[in-house]
Amino acid sequence: MVLISFGIEWFAGLGAGLAWGTVQESARRLVFGPSQSQGKQSALSPFLSDKNAERLALALCRMRGAALKIGQMLSIQDESLVPAPILAALDIVRQGADVMPRSQLNQVLNAELGPDWSSKLKSFDYEPLAAASIGQVHQAVTKDDFQVAMKIQYPGVADSIESDIENVKLLLDYTNLIPEGLYLDKAMKVAKEELSRECDYELESSNQKKFRELLSNVDGFYVPSVVDELSSKKVLTSELIHGIPIDKVALLDQETRSYVGKKLLELTLMELFTDPNWGNFLYNEPTRTINLIDFGAARSYPKRFVENYLRMVVACANCDREGVIEMSQRLGFLSGQESEIMLEAHVQAAFVVGLPFAKPGGYDFRANNITQSLSNIGGTMLRHRLTPPPDEVYSLHRKLAGAFLACIKIGAVVPCRDILLKVYESYQFDD
């Protein structure tokens, strides 16, 4: 196998498994033809079988750290970028990673909080509430009966970011999972920078406190307090909050789903065009409150970039072709040397993204297939794109796309244009 030559035992094992899976899938297709459940890309390549996708996802779960983070980033995409079997298998990745053994967990807590850390607690649950990309979360109770969630980082995660990202890049190159036009090298560079910030729990603690202050007087949102005496660079202890994840919100009534979607989009636009951006959330149904968690990836953007991006969104909403092209060149989406084919595909994609903001009144996310429309345009853009997007766009787009995908998932009906224009009209431009 090609991957064995790199001397990486894990990759050798995974590579062998994927190769054998590919042989099996090729033989199956000779007899039965491509599966109807597989996407268009999947039908073209026996590598992209359901079994191989599952092998990849489970392997990323075992790797933890940067590799798992890449898997999570891929898993929030849609079929316009990643084939359906890969998406389905990577949903496994989003559910969490392998957990730390108890002895390893104690070593981290002793090193970070001191050997007497348990004396500050009335109880500590060794069974994690969640296992994520760079750490796992445990429930505990302080001496004064305050219920907390302790996020504890996996040992060595911060030190292995560089090598883990490079290993995942080798794997993605080997499997041809990512099209050339997505500029994998640039995406990996941004991923390294984001992960370095996320591994600094002291920075996340500062972000969380800032969000708590910013949203203290905003109805419908709550940010848990940080417990400083039980926090460090690799341990972050916060007030324990309760709520249901977004897939459970989809089971609630239409009024609630639309309310949650509206609040998510308000928060996303407010933060994109003010300073930081939001992380994850849990919806507390009795209080109608969105509890915000996970501020490791929060960041600010240059004001000039934010101003042009806001103008770009408004141009998309108004189907303003010249405005879209001008702002795209200012932002770095376009070089100015693109062919007419690429320009037309770019403008049409921009108009599709602007659809929720195009008309007053409620926009029904479930009744309008934005992702399918983008999928039809995406191939042209990937073939004719001349330049990668600016670094800021990777995280910024993920937040805006995440809000859209959340609204689609829960079937929200949201007055998107009203929200956008309210932000635009109140924004203080420098020029």
Active site residues: 275
What is the dihedral angle through the alpha carbons of 242, 246, 250, 253, rounded to the nearest 10 degrees?
A: 40
Strands 121-124 and 363-364: unpaired
CA–CA gap between residue 312 and residue 420 (Å, rounded) = 12
Contact indicator for 117, 110 with CB cutoff of 8 Å: yes
Contact indicator for 328, 312 with CB cutoff of 8 Å: yes
Q: What is the DSSP letter of 360?
A: S
3-state SS assignment for residue 218: coil
* Residue 287 neighbours by CB distance under 10 Å: 12
Closest-CA residue to 366 (of 234, 257, 265): 257
CA–CA gap between residue 70 and residue 57 (Å, rounded) = 11
* Residue 223 neighbours by CB distance under 10 Å: 26
CA–CA gap between residue 353 and residue 347 (Å, rounded) = 10
CA–CA gap between residue 94 and residue 68 (Å, rounded) = 9
CA–CA gap between residue 260 and residue 238 (Å, rounded) = 24
3-state SS assignment for residue 291: strand
292, with CB counted inside 10 A (0-12, 13-18, 19+), is buried
419's tokens? 């929200």
